[in-house]
A = this chain, B = another copy of it.
Amino acid sequence: MPDRVTLQDVADRAGTSRTTAHYVLTGRDREMRIAEETRRRVLRAANELRYRPNLMARGLRTNVTRTVALVTDAVASEAYAGALVSGALAAAAERGYLLFVCETGEDPLLEEQLLAQLLDRRVDAYLYATFFTRDVEVPRALQGQKVALLNCVDPAGAWPAVVPDERAAGRSAAAALCEAGHREGIWIVGEPAEKVVAGAERMQGIREGLSEAGSQIAGVVPAQWWPESAFEQFGDFLDGGGRPSAVICLNDRIALGVYQALTARGLSVPDDVSVVSFDDSDLAVWLRPALSSIALPHREMATEAIRLLLDDGEVRPGPVRVPMPLRARDSIAPPR
Contact = CB atoms under 8 A, between A and B. Distances in A.
Contacts of A78: 79, 82, 282
A98 B98 contact: no
Nearest to A261: B288
A251 to B, nearest CB: 12
Interface of A is mostly: helix
A292 B141 CA distance: 45
Contact of A81 (B82, B89, B121): B82
B103 A98 contact: no
A188 interface: no
Interface string A244-274: 0000000001001000100100000000000
Contacts of A86: 74-76, 103
Contact of A117 (B98, B113, B226, B260): B98
Interface in A66-95: 67, 74-79, 81-83, 85-86, 89-90, 93
A286 B256 contact: yes
Nearest to A226: B286
Contacts of A286: 226-228, 253, 256
A283 B128 CA distance: 29
A90 B76 CA distance: 12
Contact of A57 (B54, B60, B76, B227): B60
B89 A231 contact: no
A158 B85 CA distance: 31
Contacts of A53: 120
A114 B260 CA distance: 45
B52 A116 contact: yes
6 contacts: A56-B56, A77-B82, A79-B282, A86-B103, A89-B102, A101-B101
A-B pairs with lowest CB-CB distance, top 10: A76-B82, A76-B86, A79-B79, A227-B286, A55-B120, A101-B101, A56-B59, A56-B60, A55-B121, A89-B103
Interface of A: 52-57, 59-60, 65, 67, 74-79, 81-83, 85-86, 89-90, 93, 96, 98-103, 110, 113-114, 116-122, 226-228, 231, 253, 256, 260, 263, 282-283, 286, 288
